[in-house]
Amino acid sequence: MTADFDAIVVGSGMTGGWAAKELTELGLRTLVLEAGRPIVPEQDYTEHKPPWEVPFRGLGDRRGVAARQSVQSHSASFDELSHVFWTDDADNPYSTPSDRPFYWFRARQVGGKSIIWARQVYRWSDLDFEANLRDGIAVDWPIRYADIAPWYDHVERFIGVSGQAEGLAHLPDGPFLPPMALNCVEQHVRQRIADKFGRTRVLTIGRVANLTAPHHGRAPCHYCGPCHRGCITRSYFSSVNATLPAAQATGRLTLRPFSIVRSLVYDAGKNRVTGVRMIDANSRVEREYSARLIFLCASALESARILLNSGLANSSGQVGRNIMDHIKWGGASGQFDGWTDRRTIGERPNGIYVPRFRNVSSRHPDFLRGYGFQGGADRAGWHAALRSPGIGPALKQRLTQLGPWSMSFAGFGEMLPREENRATLHPTLVDAWGIPSLHIECRWGENELAIHRDMNVAAAELLEAAGAKHSEPNTGGPSTPGGTNHEMGTARMGRDPKTSVLNGWNQSWDVPNLFVTDGAAMTSSGCQNPSLTYMALTARACHYAVEQLQRREL
Amino acid sequence: MDRRELIQWLVATAGLPSLAFGRQVHRRPLRRSLSAHVERTLAVATERILPGAAEANVEAFIDKMLADWHTPEERAHFLAGLPELDRRCRARAARDFADCPEADQVAVLTALDDEVSAAGTNDHWFARLKYLTVYGYCTSEAGMRALRLYPLPWRYDGCAPV
């Protein structure tokens, strides 16, 4: 029997779009199954809708959120317009222990979370790939920077990354488009930090997948601001804006929205997956599609859920384990005298970045690994007047006055992999389509909490070096696990089939024609925003898989 | 990229229907949660709190928020407090708030603002009225144009003169 397709890709987001592009360009007839709806940018993107055309002017549909999106609404990029790009919590339930909340953010539509991501892209280095081996934590990565570097190049050249080359060994540069501008206070802070810390602490402009020059037919950013509502000029990378159109152009892509994958079909005689079982989200009719090659790109926890529901690829017992996210909400902000005759104009969809500086060239006594700072400087506008005294012309005058310059540093810290942070199939809970859902147990460990505490210390040092007044540490405590939207690790790569799910090519140890290339594959979490690494791993795995197919090894 | 280039990109990639940037015609939506008296009181009060609020139709925004956003308790609390404006104006000028001389309206609102600001409380009905007035104005087309937040500049300048 011939298969329906050469390859099936489950998911159409950050990594599914890349798998679709690479596999179709390499000649494979590829079916992409997306659980959610199709996206038509001209209809679905709302970034230019002015506030007065939005029912609650951006304050959000409070009742709708309480009823249907009480989890999703905690995401940083969830708002009254972008809420349509997040799932319905009532249809997509999951459970956690009552004392261990975990935010599971999901984006079911063509494009997935690539529509609402924060677009920050940072390479990893061997500081990260060697970390588990060096520290004796979990298992060693099966790859090193040299293995992935050409794929970082490959991905960055296609998606377009604006940034400043800094020559830091632990945050390698790429083929950057021109950097976005630091504003006057950020330039000052960069210089003062350089004066105090030399090259041990560096403030640079964020490396962001927003274009600053025309790129493969996509227009440069026009600084309107709310990228998470879409981008009609395709100025930031998403699979809708870039990879899926490239796959479509090959004539070998079949994209099927409203297709919820329940499980994989397995032929024990051949030890191969032969297809997927899916449910049409609207008609609820179930059907199967067959293919020679399967790529799971459904997001870390969804891909693990599919594997667990299939009872496959889990001889190691590691599927669903080692959940990681990045711990955040540590840091500080401070005010600056001066520059009162200066302001920013336009909305830069990007901030500053301070690459990791802990445990790089010296050893911190309190914790392993480290964190990076994101943030930026600006002046408060009319929002500061919402609660200020006065009425009449005096109040109106106050609305036009800008507050002092304020600069913030917000840390994003590495999380260590631990087996007990895990997702399991819930014994009874199912989603609206009857598919067993997950029970998620995840909490920060001592190392993450020590990192979080240190964020306040180091941010205060940076602000002091920069000459800030009224420096205030963040006092809100750490973020909720999952809340950074960087969940990963649930089908890790490794060197040993007994302790890892995937080999060094994102290939299942157990089932050779099955690949998992989303965040599930991550063996450690780094502290950098992870999507770039997911994309590079995906492109690399696609080329490997097609070579293996051609050699009839799969 | 200048504005002309941007428009070319938008036309090339998007089509014009999504470019609804024209000046909005003021449409007064149907009243949802307010009596005619309350709406009139709000129209006058919001204009006195923030000149320009009436042109920006802020009372319609407050109506929408009371009808579809606030809880029944919050709405009841707000509407129970609002007649305080009439009571204070009748004590000063023997008329309801909306029919008082402007000087009395301003005096009543100023006294309330002083009291609420001194108490530092955000859950007083007047604090809610003022918050909604400022927020509604600053997110209206008239308000955003007055504050130079609209139209969008289509560029970033990190060190522009004020």
**CB atoms B155 and A346 under 8 Å:** yes
Taking contacts as CB-CB distances below 8 angstroms, the residues of chain A near B129 are: none
Residue B14: the pLDDT is 38
What pLDDT, in 10s, does the model give residues A179-228?
999 999 999 999 999 999 999 999 999 999 999 999 999 999 999 999 99
> Is the separation of the CB atoms in A285 and A260 below 8 Å?
no
Residue B120: the pLDDT is 86
Rounded-to-integer distance, Cα A249 and Cα A235, Å: 19
**CB atoms A399 and B48 under 8 Å:** no
Cross-strand pairs, A255 = A32
Is ipTM over 0.90?
yes
Residue A48 pLDDT level (bands cut at 50, 70, 90):
very high
Taking contacts as CB-CB distances below 8 angstroms, the residues of chain B near A57 are: 61, 135-136, 139
Q: How far is CA A25 from CA A32, A208, A236, A243, A534, in A?
A: 14, 26, 22, 11, 19
pLDDT by 10s per residue, chain B, length 162: 454 554 454 444 433 333 333 334 444 555 677 899 999 999 999 999 999 999 999 999 999 999 999 999 999 999 999 999 999 999 999 999 999 999 999 999 999 999 999 998 888 999 999 999 999 999 999 999 999 999 999 999 999 999
> Is the separation of the CB atoms in A521 and A493 below 8 Å?
yes
Residue A1: the pLDDT is 58
Taking contacts as CB-CB distances below 8 angstroms, the residues of chain A near B104 are: none
What is the residue type of B94? A
Angle (CA) A204 B153 A404, round 5°: 55
**CB atoms A345 and B155 under 8 Å:** yes
Residue B9: the pLDDT is 47
Residue B12: the pLDDT is 45
A212–B contact, CB cutoff 8 A: no
The residues, ordered by sequence, that sit 6+ positions from A392 with a Cβ below 8 Å of its Cβ are B48, B49, B50, B51, B106, B110
Q: What is the mean pLDDT of chain A?
A: 97
At A481, is the secondary structure helix, strand, or coil? coil
Residue B94 tokens, joined:
């023997």
Q: How far is CA B13 from CA A42, A49, A116, A233, B17, in A?
A: 9, 17, 20, 6, 12
DSSP codes, A105-130: ----BTTGGGTT---B-----HHHHT
Residue A385: the pLDDT is 87
SS (H, E, C) A197-236: HCCCCCCEECCECECCCCECCECCCCCCCCHHHCCCCCCE
Rounded-to-integer distance, Cα A391 and Cα B108, Å: 11
Question: A54: part of which helix (H) or strand (E)?
Answer: none
Residue B11: the pLDDT is 43
SS (H, E, C) chain B: CCHHHHHHHHHHHCCHHHCCCCCCCCCCCCCCCCCHHHHHHHHHHHHHHCCCCCCCCHHHHHHHHHHHCCCHHHHHHHHHHCCHHHHHHHHHHCCCHHHCCHHHHHHHHHHHHHHHHHHCCCCCHHHHHHHHHHHHHHCCHHHHHHCCCCCCCCCCEEEEEC
Residue A424: the pLDDT is 98
Question: A133: part of which helix (H) or strand (E)?
Answer: helix A131-135
Average pLDDT over residues A339-359: 97
Residue B32: the pLDDT is 73
Residue B7: the pLDDT is 46
Average pLDDT over residues A473-483: 96
Rounded-to-integer distance, Cα A282 and Cα A521, Å: 31
A222–B contact, CB cutoff 8 A: yes
Residue A41: the pLDDT is 97
Chain A: residue whose CA lies nearest to B19: A48
Rg, C-alpha atoms of chain B: 20
pLDDT over 80 at A265, yes or no: yes
What pLDDT, in 10s, does the model give residues A230-246?
999 999 999 999 999 99
Strands A5-10 and A30-33, bridge-based pairing: parallel
This prediction has a pTM of: 0.95
Average pLDDT over residues A435-450: 98
Distance from CA of A486 to the nearest CA of B (A): 29
Residue A50 pLDDT level (bands cut at 50, 70, 90):
very high
Average pLDDT over residues A466-482: 96
A191–B contact, CB cutoff 8 A: no
Residue B19: the pLDDT is 35
Percent with pLDDT over 70 in chain A: 100
What pLDDT, in 10s, does the model give residues A492-535?
999 999 999 999 999 999 999 999 999 999 999 999 999 999 99
Average pLDDT over residues A438-459: 98
What pLDDT, in 10s, does the model give residues A81-95?
999 999 999 999 999
